[in-house]
Amino acid sequence: MKTKQKSSQKNKWEDHYSRKARKENFSARSVYKLQEIQEKYRLIQQGNSVLDLGCSPGSWLQYTATLVGGSGRVAGIDKKAVSLKLPSHVTVYTGDIFSIQAVMTEELRRPFDVVLSDMAPDTTGNKTVDAARSLALCEEALAVAGRHLKTGGSFICKIFQGEDFKPFSDLIKTRFTISKIFKPKSCRKASKEIYVIGIDKKQEEICPDTVSGHP
pLDDT in tens, 124-161: 888 888 888 999 999 999 999 999 999 999 999 999 88
What 3 state SS string does 11-61 have? HCCCCHHHHHHHHCCCCCCCHHHHHHHHHHHCCCCCCCEEEEECCCCCHHH
Q: What's the rounded Cα separation, in Å, for the pair 111 and 32?
A: 26
Contact 103, 95 (CB under 8 A): yes
Model confidence pLDDT, tens digit, residues 66-89: 999 999 999 999 999 999 999 999
Handedness of CA 147, 153, 158, 162 (dihedral sign): positive
Domains: count for the chain? 1
Q: Is 173 a catalytic residue?
A: no
* Bond from prior residue into 208 cis (ω within 30 degrees of 0): no
Q: Domain containing 168: what range?
A: 16-87+97-211
In a domain, 92, yes or no: no
CA atoms within 13 A on the CB side of 153: 22
User: What was the pLDDT predicted at 10?
Assistant: 53
Q: Residue 72: which CATH number?
A: 3.40.50.150
| Identified catalytic residue from 85, 158, 173, 189 | 158
6 lies in some domain:
no
